[in-house]
Every structure is written in structure tokens, then in C-alpha cells.
Amino acid sequence: MSFRILGTGSALPARSVTNDELSGFLDTSDDWISTRTGIRSRRLCTTETLDELAALAAREALAAAGVAASELDLVVCSTTTADHIMPGEACAVAEALGASCPCLDVSAACAGFVFGLDVADGWFARGRARRVLVVSAEKMSRVLDWSDRASCVLFGDGAAAAVLGEGKGLLSLRLESRPDAETINIPGLAGTSPFDETERPASTFSMDGRRVFKFAVNAIVDGVRQTCADAHVEPQDIDHFVFHQANERILGAAVQRLGIEDARVARTLAETGNLSSACIPLALDRLVRAGSIEDGQLVALVGYGGGLSVGSCLLRWGSGT
């Protein structure tokens, strides 16, 4: 027995920042950003903490699933930008919800939500859980170099979650890592040890955009094809594609190579920017709340990012038997 998704939720900061606002302190413009990325605005934290956003998204997911926090057997949180180095973000979420179950964080960058689903799948397979909460929460604004127009315009803050229950909705799930610590990188804290003689750069985001573009398109295409092969279906049979929202050009190139209908690909990028691991569950939540996903439909998820890591998943929606 594996899982099915019982309910989803999401939460974004109140403050929306447009491309024009960024051009007030960066050498950029709305046209420069939107034509290269597809992003026109993003949500950024002002007074909100990541703990608060993650807990709000989790509460929405629990309400949608009709599950009480006391019924949870596991909380998994994917994040690379937690409010705490310790404890894990999952523990902070569980405390806010009033849950008392094992909690752990997953660090797989933008593929984190699918990695979190894989962790949950293991608990269901071993009979360790009946209800699992998977939360993805990212405050990318805290790790950006706000003088770098090539990177700071790409990201936003937000959280999204899914409550999982026993079922047969999972048709295929694949994880992959292509070890590469430099292409997408946020250096760790330098600390204040008087014995540390190493030189540590600032803990800000950096990325080799050209390498990431090629990696990302291949990750989406290979992920879809591999999970389809596992389930003995064709990409054209899939009703909804929920890919990581990094760049409109990446999405367009993947659509073209797969030969799928563009209308079947979920998009949140224009109004939220790249939310790292929260992109996929946010897009999924929006599809669910719009009534766009029907029971029995096939939903493909592909996340890719730092590591370099890839997570691909194919679900049969609403499959409880």
C-alpha cells in the first residue's frame, strides 16, 4: 500500500513586488526580466516568518483533507531556507499545529517536494503511517544577493503542503542526483571559530544559468518519459504536468521536446517567481482549488535543482483503492 493525496494547501506573503519596483534599485526593467524568465512579480516576506507560512499552508491542507493534526504519523518538510539551523522546520510546523509525531526536514533544493513524497512512501510501505504531512517552505529572499540582477529577480517566498493517506495513487516515483556542488550553490555559515583558517564566501545564492538550463530541460523530459515507461502510459495520456517553476523558457523547451499540449502544463511563475521546493505543491494546490483535477486523471510532477537533484513522480488522482 502506498499513498494518495487527501488535501493540499498553500500560503504566500502579502507583499507583491513587481519587476518595475526592482528596477528602482537594479539595472533592469520589466521587459528585461519578463522576456527572459516569464516572471512579472513575486511575493516577498516583510513581517511573515517562514514558520508562519509553513504552518498556514499545512493548516489549509489538513482542513482540505479533513484530517486533524493529532492524526498525523509523520511531518516532512522540504526547505533550504529554514528559520532555524536547529530545530528542523518540520518540528516548528508540528509545534504550531499541535502535532506530536516524528518530524524531519529534507534538503533537496527545488526537487524537495518529490523527495519528501518518497520519504512518505517508505513510511506507508512499511506500515508505519496512515496520515503524513509533506510541507515545502522557502524564504529565498534571505539568501539572495540583492545587487545581482541575474539571480535576485528570479525568486520569491512561500509555502505549500499536501496531506497524504493510504491509497494506490502512486504509479511511479524516481529520484536522481548528479553530484555537482558548484552549479547551484549557497555556501554555509562561516561561524566564529578562532581555529577555522578557511575562507568562506557570503551565504548567498549563485548559479551557472547556462548549465542549469540544459540540465533542467533534460531533467523534465527524462523524468516524464521514465515515469511514463514505469506506468506503461504515454506522455500524451497525462492530464496535468506540474513542473518546477524556474523559467518560462525551460518550460517551453520541455513542452516542445515532449510534444505535449502546452495547456496541460501548470504555471504559477508569472506572479510568484521561483519558490524552490514550494513551486510544485503550490501549483498543485492551485489546480485542486480551481477544480481542474478530476478523480482518475494522471498528474506528473518533476522537480529539479541544486545537488544537482531530480525528483519525478506520476500519480493517479484520487485513487484510494
Catalytic residues: 110, 244, 274
Q: Convert 10-32 to b/e letters by CB count within 10 Å (16 or more is b).
A: bbbbeeebebeebbeebebebeb
Beta bridge partners of 33: none
The one-character DSSP state at 301 is: E
> Which residue in 89, 76, 103, 242 sits closest to 163, CA to CA?
76
> Which residue in 239, 241, 238, 306 sits closest to 277, CA to CA?
306
> Which residue in 207, 212, 274, 206 sits closest to 243, CA to CA?
274
Upstream peptide bond of 308 is cis (omega within 30 degrees of 0):
yes
The one-character DSSP state at 144 is: -
Cβ–Cβ < 8 Å for 111, 244: yes
> Which residue in 216, 48, 246, 77 sits closest to 141, CA to CA?
48
> Which residue in 186, 191, 107, 200 sits closest to 140, CA to CA?
186
